[in-house]
Amino acid sequence: MGMKYAAAYLMAVLAGKEAPTAADLQKILESVEAEYDAEVAEKLVSELSGKTVHEVVAAGKEKLKGFGGGGGGGVAVAAAAGGGGGGGAAPVAAKEEKKVVEEE
């Protein structure tokens, strides 16, 4: 299932539809000239039937808590620290480019 179907479902809910139908998803997807597969849309609608989006999102958040953070945080901090030094060089290069543009 593509994310576009989930996105269309959420957009329909935000527009005020408590229980969007496959036809609602089709209308949204076709409005942006996206391909539409009725089977996929109907499967999504049937799986979410009787549930509110808020309940589904809350349940998903609870499931994601189990993932933790692992050891990836240390790498991100190191990358951010390294990126800070590189960030100083970028504005200098931008200033040099501006001077060239002004001379022309």
Mean pLDDT of the chain: 78
Between the ranges 8-12, 68-72, 98-102, where is the mean pLDDT highest? 8-12
- C-alpha–C-alpha distance, residues 77 and 86, integer Å: 15
Binned at pLDDT 50, 70 and 90, residue 65 comes out as: confident
| Residue 7, pLDDT above cutoff 90 | yes
| Residue 76, pLDDT above cutoff 60 | no
Say how many C-beta atoms besides its own lie within 10 A of residue 8's C-beta.
25
| Residue 101, pLDDT above cutoff 70 | no
- Structural tokens at position 57: 């999102």
pLDDT for 21 equals 95
Q: What is the mean pLDDT of residues 80-91?
A: 53
Contact (CB, 8 A) for 4 and 34 = yes
Say how many C-beta atoms besides its own lie within 10 A of residue 42's C-beta.
14
Proportion of the chain above pLDDT 70, given as a percent: 64
